[in-house]
Amino acid sequence: MKLSQFKFNLPESLVANNPAEQRDEARLMVLHKDSGKIEHKIFKDVLGYFDDKDVMILNNTKVFPARLYGNKEKTGATIEVFLLRELNKELRLWDVLVDPARKIRVGNKLYFGDDDLLVAEVVDNTTSRGRTIRFLFEGTDEEFRKNVEILGETPLPKYIKRKATAEDKERYQTIFAKHEGAVAAPTAGLHFSRELMKRLELKGIEFAEVTLHVGLGTFRTVEVEDLTKHKMDSEQFIIEQKDANIVNKALEEKRKICAVGTTSMRAIESAVSANRTLKSANDWTSKFIFPPYDFSIANSMITNFHTPESTLLMMVSAFGGYENVMNAYEVAVKEKYKFYSYGDAMLII
């Protein structure tokens, strides 16, 4: 398929700048992939589509406050440093994006916080905006992370045109987040409230957890018309044996298995055994899923509404059927569903 087949017109007004008042009260579009039928619901209605022993696969990655603002030595110019991933814990080496990039050179020192709570040195250029920096910090890892927590800002995506607030610290995080390492939230999971989780549990729905640390590569624009030429950035993922067992039992019993989010889907599709069951893993994946694609594990999926021409929209189209999904997006625009991270949800079943 071609990149241009995933174009659609999205009015700016439909980009959600704030989350729904209650997590589970965002709107929910239900798309039946066999018939293409569409229903309009509220997210908590998801309860009505699953039964005893069905399984939901959740991504339990935790977003850390990855956006830091600091000053450059000598000039004092303000710079933004976006922490992408830790390369070496002992040496405190990090892969980062810097802005404005043209002013940040190897050897520069960067100071963060009023009393220079953290200081870093630029040790390498990786891409036009990418750098490797080393934090010059003598304390323990726990103290270092505490300082990042103090100085860092919730890494809201750039299309949210406002400053991150204290509320974002809670709302741009799933209630089941456990393992720190993501620079963007697995957004489909943001719709689950504690009350809804309890009600799903009481109905007998089981949860399997995977960890995929969402990197910015997930949102990298596709710049090639021929999709086979696009390369995804690698992201770390972990699947424990106990969670693989829950999923495989449901597979065996032909239950509904729902991947909550594109990140959960990418993790499980990156760990399929030769006999098409889920295996445990601790690995990196650069899997790019676009139509046509034969899914092995999940038979339903919860996801948000994604950007035109994004790899996320391509995966959703592979799962729900290209015509079905592009039609559903047309309906979503007409019905004024909210798009992106803080937007509304879609259940494909």
For residue range 71-108, list pLDDT tens digits in order.
998 788 899 999 998 999 999 999 999 999 888 999 99
Q: Which residue has the higher pLDDT, 129 or 111?
A: 111
pLDDT exceeding 70 applies to what percent of the chain?
100
- Domain residue limits, the chain: 3-63+170-348, 67-153
- Per residue in 182-210, pLDDT (tens digit) is 999 999 999 999 999 999 999 999 999 99
Q: Are the C-beta atoms of 153 and 68 separated by less than 8 Å? A: yes
CA-CA distance, 261 to 266, in Å (whole number)?
A: 9
Q: Name the burial class of residue 136, with classes exposed (0-12), middle (13-18) and buried (19+) by CB atoms within 10 angstroms of its CB.
A: exposed
Q: Check pLDDT > 80 for residue 1.
A: yes
Q: What is the pLDDT of residues 132-179, one digit of tens each?
A: 999 999 999 999 999 999 999 999 988 898 989 989 999 999 999 999
- Grouping H, G, I as helix, E, B as strand and the rest as coil, residue 140 is coil
Task: Tell me which of 162-166, 236-240, 311-315, 340-344 is least confident.
Answer: 162-166
Q: pLDDT digit string (tens) for 21-70?
A: 999 999 999 999 999 999 999 999 999 999 999 999 999 999 999 999 99
Amino acid 159: pLDDT: 87
Confidence of residue 215 (pLDDT cuts 50, 70, 90): confident
Q: Which fold has domain 67-153?
A: Thrombin, subunit H (2.40.10)
Angle between helices 311-320 and 262-269 (to 10 degrees): 70
Q: CATH says 3-63+170-348 is which class? A: alpha beta
